[in-house]
């Protein structure tokens, strides 16, 4: 069944190419199409297209289909083009002519737009909650390990003392920036496009304010052409937010892979969270974080892929936009799996408490010694040259107990301020 069926059949090759994997992808949108169809049916009753009785039986049957979707019993067979045609078929099969009325005053473009935006709105909220859970864990780990020193690196060369508290909380605060972008994407998504029909509105006296309120959208996309142009733009906005989270997680994953390396030995995980080698019995590989790194790197390319698909399209609908759907749905699935596994694994992270006792980290403390000389009255440039000469002559003795190390920037984690910042971002 096709919503655009006019009594002739298209070639099977055309069907296969144009439908693609929409049936599988549309299972993610099914409950949202039900939600939008319920709102649409109530609106049709309000303007007199449906009677109250017709609206009631349509609503009952839509809710029954919604139950089957929730139970995982809903399928989209090959004879149906998409989720929208399958739902309309079920309504018509059960209710006859009443079922045929559900498509009055809307287009499939309408249905795809609103279902995708309802889907994105829900998923962005879920992702935001998962980001907050990871944030809370990182803050907890920061507080727990705040006094354990960690070598800082610049140019991958030993630089200055850091701490596990500073490291964990740096990623926590970085996630707040990602929340800002989620909020922006959510605001763009939270505009009702239903009623734009094929992109040029409807001659029926539809009530778009009613459906906006019924689906709890913040506002509507008032201009119907703008609503249609939102397809692709809405997804790109959401993918930018997701790619930003991916950037944060990818960098964290890289740190973890590096820090688990035996030559660093900064952190470790229980055996059950690592994998092994088929021939090297000593191996404990950070496969989870390598995959997080790979997935998150891929996620950062999704906004560009969507841009390339949509950039040279004029206004109005074009089938090119169908290619955005698989990118967006897989993007969401990947970031959620990465957030879940990062949280699951980091709950069990074990840190090395004696890293900086190794003589190879003596030079971590050169800046603290330099600062001590300056505080005692020596001009900075003279102190800097003296330290350089002492290091070159192997006459530098590190002072691992310098007060600055414990009470300066390393110890001053500002965790309460960071938590307040996240609280504001979530409001």
Q: What is the SS3 assignment for 205-272? A: CCCHHHHHHHCCCCEECCCHHHHHHHHHHHHHHHHHHHHHHHHHHHHHHHHHHHHHCCCCCCEECCHH
Q: In this structure, are 74 and 135 located in the same domain?
A: no
For the cut 90, the answer to whether the pLDDT of residue 381 exceeds it is yes
Residue 15: pLDDT band with limits 50, 70, 90: low
**Backbone phi and psi for residue 352, each to the nearest 5 degrees, phi listed first:** -85, 120
Comparison of pLDDT for 408 and 382, the residue scoring more: 382
Report how far apart, in Å, the C-alpha atoms of 102 and of each of 1, 44, 74, 118, 146 are: 15, 8, 19, 19, 60
User: Do 239 and 117 share a structural domain?
Assistant: yes
Beta strands in 286-336 (DSSP E): none
Average pLDDT over residues 403-411: 59
**Whats the size of the chain, residue-wise?**
427
Q: Is residue 116 part of a domain?
A: yes
Of 103, 131, 159, the position where a domain reaches its end is: 103
Q: Is the Cα dihedral 202, 208, 212, 214 positive or negative? A: negative
Domain that holds residue 75: 12-103
176: helix, coil or strand?
Answer: helix
We report the CATH number of the domain holding residue 142 as: 1.20.200.10
Nearest-10 Cα torsion for 195, 196, 197, 200? 140
Same-domain check for residues 55 and 202: no
| 219, 277, 315, 337: the active-site residue | 277
Query: Span 176-196, mean pLDDT?
Result: 98
**Would you state the pLDDT for residue 4?**
43
- Assigned domain for 7 exists: no
Full-model pTM: 0.91
Flag whether 299 is in a domain.
yes
Considering the domain boundaries, does residue 372 fall inside one?
no
- Indicate the residue among 82, 103, 124 that finishes a domain: 103
Q: For the segment 35-50, what is each residue's pLDDT rounded down to a tens digit? A: 999 999 999 999 999 9
96/141 same-domain check: no
Mean pLDDT across 311-325: 92
67, 183: one domain: no
Share of the chain above pLDDT 90, in %: 81
Residues 155 and 256 placed together within one structural domain of the fold: yes
Query: Tokens 């705040």 belong to which residue?
Result: 146
pLDDT surpassing 80 at residue 105: yes
Residue 400's pLDDT band (boundaries 50, 70, 90)? confident
User: Both 234 and 130 in a single domain?
Assistant: yes
Question: Structurally, how many domains does the chain consist of?
Answer: 2
Instruction: Check 155, 203, 278, 282 and give the catalytic one.
Output: 155
pLDDT confidence of residue 18: 55
Mean pLDDT of 115-140: 98
Say yes or no to pLDDT of 13 above 70: no
Mean pLDDT of 406-415: 73
Look at residue 408 in the predicted model and tell me its pLDDT: 60
Query: Would residue 1 count as lying in a domain?
Result: no
| CB 211, CB 35: distance < 8 Å | no
Q: What angle do CA 100, 106, 108 make, to 5 degrees?
A: 90
Output the CA–CA distances (angstroms, integers) from residue 155 to 78, 124, 166, in the order listed: 55, 36, 19
Residues 82 and 116 in one domain: no
332 burial via Cβ count (<10 Å: 0-12, 13-18, 19+):
buried
Q: Is residue 232 over pLDDT 80?
A: yes
Last residue in a domain, options 308, 340, 356: 356
| Domain assignment present for 380 | no
Q: What is the pLDDT of residue 70?
A: 95
With 70 as the cut, is the pLDDT of residue 342 above it?
yes
391, part of any domain: no
If pLDDT is split at 50, 70 and 90, which confidence band does 407 have? Answer: low
Residue 129 sits in the same domain as residue 85: no
Same domain, 120 and 97: no
Q: Is 277 labeled as catalytic in the residue annotation?
A: yes
Q: Which of 11-20, 273-282, 373-382 has the highest mean pLDDT?
A: 373-382
CATH number of the domain at 70, please: 1.10.275.10
As a whole number of angstroms, the distance between CA 195 and CA 220 comes to: 10
Q: Please, what is the average pLDDT of the chain?
A: 92
Mean pLDDT of 331-350: 97
Same domain, 122 and 241: yes
Burial category of 46 from C-beta neighbours within 10 Å (exposed 0-12, middle 13-18, buried 19 and up):
middle
pLDDT band at 19 (very low <50, low <70, confident <90, very high): low
Domain contains 174: yes
Q: Which of these ranges, 15-24, 177-186, 350-359, 394-403, has the smallest mean pLDDT? A: 15-24
The pLDDT score that the predictor gives to residue 283 is 75
| pLDDT exceeds 80 at position 192 | yes
Domain match, 282 and 322 both: yes
**What tokens does 223 get?**
């201009």
Binned at pLDDT 50, 70 and 90, residue 410 comes out as confident
């Amino acid at each position: 069944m096709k919503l655009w069926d006019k009594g002739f059949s298209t070639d099977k090759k055309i069907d296969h190419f144009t439908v693609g994997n929409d049936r599988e992808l549309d299972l993610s949108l099914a409950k949202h199409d039900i939600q939008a169809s319920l709102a649409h049916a109530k609106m049709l009753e309000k303007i007199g297209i449906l009677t109250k009785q017709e609206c009631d039986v349509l609503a009952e049957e839509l809710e029954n289909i919604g139950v089957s979707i929730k139970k995982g019993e809903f399928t989209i067979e090959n004879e149906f083009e998409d989720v929208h045609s399958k739902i309309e078929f079920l309504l018509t099969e059960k209710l006859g002519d009443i079922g045929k009325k559900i498509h009055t005053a809307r287009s499939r473009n309408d249905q795809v737009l609103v279902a995708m935006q309802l889907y994105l709105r829900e998923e962005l909220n879920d992702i935001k909650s998962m980001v907050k859970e990871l944030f809370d864990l990182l803050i907890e780990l920061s507080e727990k390990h705040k006094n354990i020193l960690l070598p800082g690196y610049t140019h991958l060369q030993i630089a200055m003392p850091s701490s596990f508290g500073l490291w964990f909380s740096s990623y926590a605060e970085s996630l707040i920036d990602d929340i800002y972008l989620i909020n922006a994407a959510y605001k763009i998504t939270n505009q009702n496009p239903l009623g734009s029909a094929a992109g040029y509105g409807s001659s029926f006296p539809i009530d778009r304010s009613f459906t906006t309120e019924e689906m709890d959208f913040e506002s509507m996309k008032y201009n119907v052409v703008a609503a249609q142009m939102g397809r692709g733009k809405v997804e790109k906005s959401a993918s930018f937010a997701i790619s930003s989270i991916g950037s944060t997680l990818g960098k964290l994953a890289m740190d973890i892979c590096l820090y688990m390396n035996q030559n660093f030995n900064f952190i470790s995980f229980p055996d059950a969270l690592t994998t092994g080698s088929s021939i090297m019995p000593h191996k404990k590989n950070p496969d989870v974080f390598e995959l997080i790194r790979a997935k998150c790197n891929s996620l950062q390319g999704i906004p560009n892929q969507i841009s390339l698909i949509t950039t040279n399209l004029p206004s109005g609908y074009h089938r090119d936009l169908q290619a955005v759907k698989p990118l967006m749905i897989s993007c969401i699935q990947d970031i959620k799996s990465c957030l879940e596994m990062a949280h699951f694994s980091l709950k069990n992270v074990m840190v090395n408490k004696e890293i900086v006792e190794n003589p190879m980290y003596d030079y971590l403390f050169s800046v603290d010694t330099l600062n001590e000389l300056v505080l005692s009255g020596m001009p900075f440039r003279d102190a800097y040259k003296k330290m350089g000469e002492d290091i070159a002559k192997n006459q530098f003795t590190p002072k691992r107990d310098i007060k600055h190390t414990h009470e300066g920037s390393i110890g001053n984690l500002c965790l309460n301020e960071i938590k307040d910042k996240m609280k504001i971002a979530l409001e």
